[in-house]
Each structure stands twice: as C-alpha cells, then as structure tokens.
Chain A
Amino acid sequence: MIAYTVRRLLLALVTIWAISVLSFVIIQLPPGDFVDAYISHLSASGSVVSAEEAQSLRKLYGLDRPIYVQYAKWMSRVSEGDFGESMEWMRPVTEVIGDRLWLTMVVSIAAIILTYAIAFPIGIYSAVRQYSVGDYLFTLFGFVGIAVPNFLLALILMYFSFKYLDANIGGLFSADYALAPWSLDKVWDLLRHLPLPAFVLAVGGTAQLIRIMRANLLDELRKPYVVTARAKGLAETRVIMKYPVRAALNPFASSAAYLFPQIVSGGIIVALVLSLPTVGPLLLTSLVAQDMFLAGTIVLMLGVMTVIGTFISDLILMWVDPRIRFQVEG
C-alpha cells in the first residue's frame, strides 16, 4: 500500500517536473528573449529603455547564461512564489491570475462531481436493463455526448437561450457581483451560475463513463460470484449493488483519473465561449499578446493542479480496490 502510494507520488512529481519544463519551453518559444519583448512593449507605450538597462535586466533573469541555468533560475523563483511580471498588465502574474485559478478548479470539480452523479446511476440502469427503452435512450445521449465537442455544445446552448429565452447564459456571476468582494451572497450567486458550465463540461465525460460503467457491469453481471450471491437468498437489488456494482466501480474509478485533465482542458475553450472568469480566456489573450510569463504560469499552474487532482483520484482508487491495498497483481 505504501509502495503504491510512493510510486504514484513519484510519478506525480515527475509529471510536475515535465510540465514545468514544458511551461518553460512555452515561455522561451517566441523569437527573441523576453527582455526584447519587454522593451518593445515599453516603447509601444512611449517609454525608452537604454541598452544598459536592458543588459542589467538580462543579467537579472540570467538570460546571458545557458538555457538550463535559466530554467533553474526560473524554477527557484517560481518555488519562492515569484512567477514574474505580466507584460500586458504590468503587474505580477499571480495578481493578474487572482481568483481565476480557483474558479477554474471550482468549475472543473463541479463538472467532475456532476459527471459521476449522472454517469453512475445511468450506467447501472443501462447494464441491468440492457436493451430496454431507457438503455437505448441513454445510449443515444451517450453518442451525442461523445460527438458534440463541449465548446460546440456551449455555443449551441448559448444560441438557443439567446434566441428563445432571450437570456445570456454566460458568466459565473451576475453583473452585480462580478467585481464585488467575496461574500456569502456572492458565493450563492456563483452556485446559481455553476450548473450550466458544469453540465456542458460534464456531458462528454459522462458519456464516456456511462459506456465504461455499462460495459464493465455487463461483464461483472455474468460472473459466478453474482450467482453465489443470489444463491445466498439476497434480494436482487442487494445482489447487484453489493457485488457486481462494487466490482465495476474499479475500472470506473481508474478511468475517472484521466477525466480530470480532460475536463480542465475542455474548460479552457468552454470558458471562452461562455465568458467564464476562469484562466481560459486569460490564457488565450496572454498567448495572443505573447505575454509569455503569464501564459507559462497558467500552463504550469493548471498542470500542477491537474496532477494533484489525478493523484487524489489515484488514492481514491486504492481505497476502492482491496487488491491494490494488499499488493496483489491481477
């Protein structure tokens, strides 16, 4: 059990390292170093930077040193919480991101919870009542969920609510609360706006999970231990819920670990369509403006949060499966 946890933790750390390298690459990718970009940005607003100033800036960020030294310097600054300045906003990156990162997580976690809440009962129903009308309906829903990319779904929902309900369904807050400081009312306002983006993000994953749950449960229902349970004299509902559902939970849980990165990913584009105050739109504008410290930081933070989320779901999986707890293969 400890070995498993340690292995997962190590993998998570390596992943975080890989993400940090990729984020650094993204920061470095645009032609010229960022001091050039900084200078051109300043000159666009009328300030002039002298050659000496530029040189000292380069020294400060170690831009005259080899690339791996630059990476190490960046990492050491990052680990102290200094993510650099946003050129676009002329403010520290962390300040620009502000609440957006947490709101991203709130939306993603809400979507995950919704995904489970929908997929679990429907998956069981579809397997137990295989080939019933309900099963066919849910299968159809599953295919729609898989076929319609979530940003298209958001777009279509936006259009219909605009056209027929005359309502703008975007955003996470009402106009009154958007800029207001946090209060209970604001949280309540957030909760009221949350279901729609959460649903849009959940549809794709739900469709996948229903298929997985249904297929696994159909497999499990044919296994001898189900007959054993019936032969004990248990009621049918109890037989199904205690034994095959419990077993089908396992692949269900492990595929859910990959769902989190997917939802975070999809959330970026959906946020843009639904104009959510999450990191999605910010990432896009920073990339378009080549505000690389901001963009790199967002990629890094999203990545790290996803890895943490995945690690947590791995731990849940371990808790779910006694075979992992006891280190038995197969």
Chain B
Amino acid sequence: MAETPILSVQGLKTYYLQDEGVVRAVDGASFDLYPGRTLGIVGESGCGKSVSARSILQIVERPGRIEAGRILLQREGAADTVDLARLDPKGREMRAIRGAEIALVFQEPMTSLSAYYTVGNQIGEVIRLHKGFDKKAARSRAIELLAKVGIPRPERRVDEYPFQLSGGLRQRVMIAMALAAEPRILIADEPTTALDVTTQAQILDLLRKLQRERGLAIILITHDMGVIAEMADDVVVMYLGRAVERGSVDEIFHAPKHPYTRALLRSIPSILAKPRDKLATISGSIPHPYDRPTGCPFHPRCGDFMPGICDTAAPEMRPAGARREVSCFLYEHTQ
C-alpha cells in the first residue's frame, strides 16, 4: 500500500469554450492509479468521466481544453514523473505515450473501429508504430493478440472487417488493439455498456485475466455500480465534473459518505427487494451545462441540503480516512 501511484491526476479542469458560454466538463478532478489495480470512475452520464479519460491522453476535441491541473505519469524505469498536461498534444512525446504506455478502450465497439480496414490492419498499425515491427511480424503478432483475447480462429478473423464481427468480438478486438503495444495503463471507457449481459461478463473476465497476467493498471469508467463492485479496487465518484468522493471499493459500498454516492447506491435494483417496490431514483436531473447551480453542484437534488451553506459555497475535497476523501459540508462541520 505504500506504493507510488503510476498515474496521478491532480485538480484537472477541462473546459469547452463555446460561443454560448463555458462548459466545465471536468472541474477539479483528482485521483490516483496504482500499478496492478483497478480504479473505477463512476457517475451519471455527462459528469465528465469520459472527458477526464480523454484529457489524460490529451485527445480532447476542440473547443475543449485542459485549463488547469496536473497529470503525472510515472514512466517506465524513470525516477521522475512527467506531467502530461504540459506536453504538446500533437508532439512526438505525447504520441509516444498514447497507445504505448496508456491505451484506451471505448464504449462503442461498433463505431470505434473503422469499417474500411481489416482488424489485422488496425491492430498491426499500433504494433508497427510503437514496436517498429514490419508488416509480416505485425500481422502474426496481431493473430497472437486476437488469440489472447479469446477470439476463435484468429488467423481468419485477422483479415475480416469489423462489420463482419459481433459486438462482443469487436470489443475483444478493441482490447487486443489497446494491448498491442503492451501499455502499463488501460483506460476502459464504458467497455461493456453496449454489450448484452453475458458478453459483458465475458469482457470483464477478460480484463481481469489480462490484469493478472500483465500487472496492468486499469481505469474503468462506468455508470454501472454493479460493474464497479465486481471490478474496482478503488473508486472515484464524479458529479458534474467534480470528484465528490474517493475510497476503496469496500468503503464506498459499505460506508458511503457523500449523499450523491448514497443515492447512486440506492438506485441499484436489488433482487432482495419486494415485488412491486418502487426503485429509488435520484430526484431531478443533471442541470444544463451552461446553467450550473451555485455552491455545491449537487445541492438542488440533495436530500441533505442545508440552506445557506450548500447553495453559497462549494465544498472542498477533505480527507476522511486513509486514502479516502469526500467533498461535502456534512463532514466539514462535524470535523
């Protein structure tokens, strides 16, 4: 537990500067990722999970921009860390990190692969780029990778186009592609959302297996508390671009502190619930991005709303135990 994080994101702010106003997609997110562990980032859609992931790789699309914060990567064999937020997004150094040290797997295996190139071409490209293999070597490496991620008859699949594969196979191809240059960090952005339940379980198993074999550090982004419970070692809960609570998976599930985390946990359907019981929901909906509430962004939907406090100032992230933090006035006053 005394390990140093392989990736440490501190106070990340990514804004979209548009004519209509500034959208604060990520507005102060901090988390650490440790080697061989899985960090789950959880939150409703639009809370800035995906933008955080893209910010790490500096592939946020215009007009989005990283405004503040540090993204410290512990490079292999190096004593110092490198701050990714300071690298030129189009520069050689950043490109050498993308795919080679940090790889990305997306939600939509359908549209995340190009329909115009074979699977082998798209995987081989990464191997040739980062490993300097020639075409032939890259192809046989691609076949090995396809076998590794559990694709049957890889030597045939390698020459097929993504639209000839099922959704589950496509997601396996995405994972094979992400692992092609043997990265140490894998960011999986809703990797199972578009898949059916059985395939979901298979993909999660695959991720766990690969993690064991290679000591991968995984950032798992999802809105599904079930997936978090199954996969994550550490959890960050995000709301409207801010991290509101951090802790180990046990702490988050057994002793949630932030009202939002508690609300999220309540809204998981349980098989123990009585028939015809109403499923708990979080009241209200996510505010419009141009129209952020003042004070704590969660206060209009919060059950523990304290007038005069929550709607005037935004709470800070405060330590609430070892490697545990929460940002809520409920805990600031009791301290």
Please give the residue numbers on chain A whose beta carbons come within 8 Å of chain B beta carbons, in ascending order.
222-225, 227-236, 242-243, 246-247, 321-323, 326, 328
Scan residues 160-174 of chain B and give those whose CB is less than 8 A from a CB of chain A.
161, 163-164, 174
Measured in the bound complex, the distance between the Cα atoms of B125 and A247 in whole Å is 18
By Cβ-Cβ distance, the 10 closest A-B pairs, closest first, are: A233-B98, A233-B99, A231-B104, A232-B99, A233-B95, A224-B112, A230-B59, A225-B114, A224-B111, A228-B112
What B residues does A246 contact at CB under 8 A?
114, 116-117
Whether B164 pairs with A326 at a CB distance below 8 angstroms is yes
Whether A247 pairs with B115 at a CB distance below 8 angstroms is yes
Whether B95 pairs with A235 at a CB distance below 8 angstroms is yes
Measured in the bound complex, the distance between the Cα atoms of B57 and A328 in whole Å is 34
Whether B59 pairs with A234 at a CB distance below 8 angstroms is no
Whether A323 pairs with B59 at a CB distance below 8 angstroms is no
Q: Tell me whether B146 is interfacial, beta carbon within 8 Å.
A: no
Question: In angstroms, how far is the closest chain B Cβ from the Cβ of A319?
Answer: 12
Contact of B116 among A231, A233, A247 (CB under 8 A): A247
Whether A243 pairs with B114 at a CB distance below 8 angstroms is yes
Scan residues 106-150 of chain B and give those whose CB is less than 8 A from a CB of chain A.
106-108, 111-117, 125-126, 129-130
Measured in the bound complex, the distance between the Cα atoms of B61 and A223 in whole Å is 11
Residue of A nearest to B129 (CB): A233
Jot down 25 A-B pairs with beta carbons below 8 A, ordered by A.
Answer: A222-B61, A224-B107, A224-B108, A227-B54, A227-B59, A227-B61, A227-B106, A227-B112, A228-B106, A228-B112, A229-B114, A231-B99, A231-B104, A232-B125, A232-B177, A233-B97, A233-B99, A233-B181, A234-B129, A247-B114, A247-B115, A322-B161, A323-B115, A326-B161, A328-B163
Q: Tell me whether B100 is interfacial, beta carbon within 8 Å.
A: yes
Whether B129 pairs with A232 at a CB distance below 8 angstroms is yes
Contact of A224 among B106, B116, B125, B163 (CB under 8 A): B106
Whether A225 pairs with B113 at a CB distance below 8 angstroms is yes
Question: In angstroms, how far is the closest chain A Cβ from the Cβ of B175?
Answer: 12
Q: A227-B106, A326-B164 are in contact. Are A233 and B130 (CB under 8 A)?
A: yes
Whether B98 pairs with A232 at a CB distance below 8 angstroms is yes
Contact of B113 among A222, A228, A230 (CB under 8 A): A228
Scan residues 68-114 of chain B and give those whose CB is less than 8 A from a CB of chain A.
90, 95-100, 103-104, 106-108, 111-114
